[in-house]
């Protein structure tokens, strides 16, 4: 499998860091966070099954300041996937960047160069 990091390391004669076998440790803690506060959680929650930044609803109770005992947890589920319409015509979309539209003099030159490239004149 191609890896840009592997290619850069090879070109610059750098040693790759070893790939970790586990991405969590037994000492990991789960912290619940909202827009106001953070609180450590324990109980019916397994840190090894979670990742940072997931949306969830947690049922439980506070046991003193800074500690939340989890009785249950549910996660946001994606809705039913909407089927896309089949397009009969073949359209092309081109995304370009770096043409410096904020510069007063540059856009005409870059857009002209882009147009010539699209038309196959370059």
Residue in the block written with tokens 């953070």: 38
Model pLDDT, residue 73: 93
The beta-carbon contacts of 1-8 under 8 Å, at least 24 apart in sequence, are none
Average pLDDT, rounded, for the chain = 83
pLDDT digit string (tens) for 24-79?
888 888 999 888 889 999 999 888 888 888 889 999 999 888 899 999 999 988 88
Query: Residue 117 above 80 pLDDT?
Result: yes
Domain boundaries, the chain: 24-78, 87-122
Q: Which fold has domain 24-78?
A: OB fold (Dihydrolipoamide Acetyltransferase, E2P) (2.40.50)
pLDDT > 80? residue 106: no
Those residues with Cβ within 8 angstroms of residue 59's Cβ, 6 or more apart along the chain or in another chain: 70, 71, 72, 73
Query: 16 with 9: CB under 8 angstroms?
Result: yes
Question: Taken in order 49, 46, 56, 50, is the CA torsion positive or negative?
Answer: negative
Is the pLDDT at 92 greater than 90? The verdict is no
């Amino acid at each position: 499998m191609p890896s840009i990091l592997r290619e850069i390391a090879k070109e610059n004669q750098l040693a790759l860091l070893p790939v970790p076998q586990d991405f969590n440790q037994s000492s990991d803690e789960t912290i619940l966070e909202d827009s106001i506060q953070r609180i450590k959680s324990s109980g019916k929650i397994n840190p090894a099954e979670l990742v940072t930044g997931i949306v969830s609803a947690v049922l439980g109770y506070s046991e003193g300041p800074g500690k939340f005992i989890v009785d249950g947890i549910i996660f946001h589920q994606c809705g039913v996937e909407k089927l896309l319409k089949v397009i009969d015509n073949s359209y092309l979309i081109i995304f370009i960047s770096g043409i410096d539209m904020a510069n007063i003099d540059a856009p005409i030159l870059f857009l002209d160069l882009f147009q010539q490239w699209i038309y196959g004149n370059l």
